[in-house]
Amino acid sequence: MYKLKAAEWRPQHFKWEVKDRVGTVTLNRPERKNPLTLESYAELRDTFHKLQYAEDVRAVVFTGEGGNFCSGGDVHEIIGPLTKMDMSGLINFTRMTGNLVKEMRTCPQPIIAAVDGICAGAGAIISMASDLRYGTPECKTAFLFVRVGLAGCDMGACAILPRIIGQGRASELFYTGRAMSAQEGQAWGYYNELIPKDKLLERAHAMAKEIADGPIFAHSMTKKCLHQEWNQTIEQALETEAEAQAICMQTKDFTRAYNAFVAKQKPLFEGN
């Protein structure tokens, strides 16, 4: 089986660390509030694609340096060049950025966004595409594409955000481009929890470690079903989940859990 050691990866456009089977992506341009470039978009897309082959990563934390998450696409390195591209170049770019979301949603590892400060544009999309989101009381999340003359339907936002916070609330954010406060985000179900900024990464890594210590094959199946059942009828979803659960019942982790229960012990899951 084709496997990779993710701890050996050396990305050029963001920080990457693997510890306790948790991979951490840290955007590290704090002087500009961690904007994305064409290169970092592509490298993030490729990293999340490769995670399906990573044997040493069971969960991922996504964060940013310097008190901010991500300010979106770099104005000088992305926005400016886009105004000069022809249609062929533009569609290549928008498909590439959409592919980052696709790889985040389809990689088997649950992703936890740890959000502080500014979380805007493509940064808001990255947090949206994550499986869990922890924020600080000060964080501000803005899908601000309308402010630069673009539609709110970017990188899957019109498909994903209404499922998280509801159609009306998502519509308001898309049409106005205003920032969603941390308190609104928690009340609307966008943020799982608000954490003081000095405890944010600790909380995100604690949850990632809890996930990594669990039955990771079953977790990956849960993530897959959560994603693909958006477009299924209830009858189709019931069959999908029947098949998924039967597959999980064939894993050694299922037997380990049963044996541990009988022995009144805590199961140690190995991911197979």
Domain CATH number, residue 91: 3.90.226.10
* 198 and 232 part of one domain: no
Claim: this prediction has a pTM higher than 0.85: yes
* 158 and 231 part of one domain: no
Rounded CA Rg of the chain: 19
* 170 and 49 part of one domain: yes
Q: Is residue 27 part of a domain?
A: yes
What pLDDT is attached to residue 177?
A: 94
Q: Is residue 267 part of a domain?
A: no
In a 3-state reduction of DSSP, which class is residue 220? helix
Confirm if 134 and 192 have CB atoms less than 8 A apart.
yes
* 155 and 229 part of one domain: no
Choose the final residue of a domain: 172, 189, 212: 212
- Determine the structural domain holding residue 224 and report its residue range: 216-262
Q: Is residue 271 part of a domain?
A: no
* 109 and 223 part of one domain: no
What pLDDT is attached to residue 75?
A: 81
Q: Is residue 268 part of a domain?
A: no
For the chain, what is the domain count?
2
Tell me what the mean pLDDT of segment 80-100 comes to: 92
Mean pLDDT for the chain overall: 94
* 206 and 227 part of one domain: no
Q: Is residue 79 part of a domain?
A: yes
Compute the C-alpha angle 226/231/234, nearest 5°: 80
Task: Name residue 133's beta-bridge partners.
Answer: 113
* 175 and 47 part of one domain: yes
* 244 and 136 part of one domain: no
* 188 and 221 part of one domain: no
Rounded to whole angstroms, the Cα distance separating 136 from 97 reads 26
Rounded to whole angstroms, the Cα distance separating 211 from 62 reads 15
* 36 and 114 part of one domain: yes
Rounded to whole angstroms, the Cα distance separating 118 from 127 reads 11
Q: Is residue 60 part of a domain?
A: yes
Q: Are strands 118-120 and 140-142 parallel, antiparallel or unpaired?
A: parallel
**Is residue 117's pLDDT more than 90?**
yes
Task: Name residue 59's beta-bridge partners.
Answer: 22
What pLDDT is attached to residue 153?
A: 81
The structure tokens listed for 157 are 């936002």
* 162 and 250 part of one domain: no
What pLDDT is attached to residue 271?
A: 82
Q: Helices 87-106 and 122-129, interaxial angle, to 10°?
A: 30
* 103 and 237 part of one domain: no
Tell me what the mean pLDDT of segment 61-72 comes to: 97
Q: Is residue 173 part of a domain?
A: yes
Q: Is residue 270 part of a domain?
A: no
Tell me what the mean pLDDT of segment 178-204 comes to: 98
